[in-house]
Structure 1
């Protein structure tokens, strides 16, 4: 059993909250997937540092503002704190797919920022990237993270995509959390 708990990095849409092909554009549209808030709180209370790394191209597309995005994140944080947990940090990419930024997954810029904030390198410090899309997992793998796919959001389709790396599959974030708590307690 490893004695060092990994850093947990979560995608947001499709992992923590319901996703939409029309984008989650308003505070009311941001609705947590059942069990996800309690799962994050359980990880936090068990001593895991939980970060969020989320592509938010709806900002670049003009579907919602940075202010609305911040309100969504504050809602999420309040719900997690109400369960006794906390988020260590949130990284988001507000750019569009054609902006050629370094932060938009599958590029690892948001994970680089988390490493920099922590003063670590995930090639030597354990971390797990949890997502529902191939690009989530690719971003994590690019920085030395283990990859975990949840079948919520786009995960059911993603599991059948060709990937040249190992990843674990979980029904949802709650199932990932139970497995992780068992492994690292």
Structure 2
């Protein structure tokens, strides 16, 4: 059985709507949240396959080109690898909001496509996000859901940071009772 963690990007791995950056439209605007790279490293080193599933409507709206989005993801992955972690694949929806596609969260398309591609049983996986669309996508896909933040979006579990969530997942996996 392959075990996996699906991560939203903005607000879970990197800053968004912060004092330093509003939206990440260029690699220079990517700032990893404190502990995020360590969290990915801990999960990866405990045997989890790590995926990022992110809505990137800025492409569809013309705020950035897809090539720039690829450069942002390359920077994110490199910074995480420097901490000993690895993101197996980044899936993104580049469609504009309200385009009606099946890949944009809250639809589960990105998650289910990755699960099928890598033969992952979603019942044993986690979707971690900071917004209701992340939680809805995770639940629709059949994964356990974790909310980063304090809003109540119906997640199965809630933590303040990705690092706290990762430590909890690892502890739960080691002591499943």
Aligned residue for 2:165? 176
Q: TM-score, normalised by structure 2?
A: 0.91
Please report how far the alpha carbon of residue 121 of structure 1 lies from its aligned counterpart in structure 2 after TM superposition. Answer: 4.2
Query: Counterpart of 1:105 in 2: which secondary structure?
Result: coil
Task: Give yes or no for contact 2:92–2:110 (8 Å, CA) kept in 1.
Answer: yes
Shift of 1:145: 0.4
Contact 1:5 1:184 in 2 (8 A): no
In the TM superposition, what is the alpha-carbon distance from 1:6 to its structure 2 partner?
3.5
Alignment: residue pair count: 171
Match of 1:137 in 2: 135
- 1:108-119 to 2 correspondences below 5 Å: 108-119=108-119
Tell me which protein shows more helix as a share of its residues: 2
User: How many angstroms apart in 2 are the aligned matches of 1:148 and 1:103?
Assistant: 20
Alpha-carbon distance between aligned partners in 1 of 2:102 and 2:121, rounded to the nearest angstrom: 17
The alignment yields a C-alpha RMSD, in angstroms, of: 1.6
| Contact 1:44–1:86 (Cα < 8 Å) also in 2 | yes
Residue in structure 2 matched with residue 38 of structure 1 by the alignment: 38
CA displacement 1:2-47 (0-9 Å, x = unmatched): xx67410000000000013842111111110011011101110111
Residue 33 of structure 1 aligns to a residue whose secondary structure is coil
Aligned partner (choices 118, 122, 125) of residue 127 of structure 1:
125
Structure 1 residue runs of 4+, over 4 Å off?
none
Which TM-score applies when normalising by structure 1? 0.87
Return 5+ residue gaps in structure 2 as ranges: none
Report 1:51-130 matches (<5 A).
51-122=51-122, 125-130=123-128
Unaligned runs of 5+ in 1: none
SS of 2:137's equivalent in the other structure is helix
Contact 2:2 2:121 in 1 (8 A): no
